[in-house]
Amino acid sequence: MAQKLLFAVDFSPYTEKLLGCAGELAQVGLNDVVLVYVLESKKHADYGDHKNPAYEAEMQEAEAHLAELAGQLEAQGMKVTKLTRSGNPAVEIVEAAKEEDANLIFLGAQGKGFLSRAILGSVSERVLKLADRSVMIQHCRVLKDDGGYSCEYACSSLFGNILVASDFSKYADSVKPILMDLARTLCTPITLLHVVEGKSDWGYQTLDKFKKEQVKEQMEKLEDMSFELGNYCESVKYDIVNGDTPSAILSYAQDMDASLIILGAFGGRGVTADLLGSVTERVVRKSERPVLVLKARL
């Protein structure tokens, strides 16, 4: 797997939770971390000139916070670069990833009713659309207690039980090298899933000839990929289900208690710099589990 991770932070309580994710990602070679904080464009406009004392004070505070976070990661043996930027958060995050040649952008998304300062879902979705490289979105699992709301530890066993959902388009071949690395380095349990769009009460015998050929072709591709991964690790399974694709993926992830959902390409046109397939968008928006969206760069 690629070596450099760009980690967008906002200094909310959730940021502290997400630091554990960096530790887990280091297990697969992502131990060169870029921590980036973006002062939102609205505040930036309010400050006007960068020499404004309020602007300088906030940036100094941000740099101090980044130094604290960097120290925690460096204590785990990671190399850390610290960046502060100002402007539109999504645009600045994507530009920073390009400038630093990061291979993966890591973002948190807030849970419902919790962490008003956390990186908002709209920012995460915008980054997904703009980025020309892979993006991982980690949702906060919100727990309600006597004190209000709290965030469950975000990345316990991130690679413990992976679900890979793919439409087996040409673009989706980018899934393979990532999975090979995971199987080779961690021998982690992996389930390969393909969803046949349609009613959930399907049966193979009820399909027309064209649909049967499609299912047969997808099953052969699943078997081939499973066989390749099996050269490194025996903990590989595959399955084909039927239904509404986003709902079927999320339901399957729930049933198998997936620790991570990896998405290949969906929607025919795949994922481009400005357009995500509707399947990918809906899975990312509704999932309570980490979602890794692979981009063609990998």
* Cβ-contact 145, 162 below 8 angstroms: no
Average pLDDT, the chain: 78
- DSSP 3-state assignment of 15? helix
Fold match between domain 4-151 and domain 162-293? yes
Of 292, 208, 205, 210, the C-alpha closest to 249 is: 292
Q: Which residue type, as a one-letter code, is found at position 269?
A: R
- For the chain, list residues with pLDDT below 50: 2, 111-120, 267-275, 298
Backbone angles phi, psi at 180, to 5 degrees: -60, -45
Question: What architecture (CATH level 2) is domain 4-151?
Answer: 3-Layer(aba) Sandwich (3.40)
3-state SS assignment for residue 191: strand
CA distances to 40, 193, 215, 226, 274 from 221, rounded to whole Å, are 45, 11, 10, 8, 29
Topology of domain 162-293, CATH: Rossmann fold (3.40.50)
- Give the pLDDT confidence of 242-276 residue by residue, as tens digits: 888 899 999 999 999 999 999 875 544 443 333 35
> Which pTM value belongs to this model?
0.83
Q: For 162-176, what is each residue's pLDDT tens digit?
A: 999 987 666 566 677
pLDDT of res. 35:
95
Provide the residue ranges of all domains of the chain, joining segments of one domain with +: 4-151, 162-293
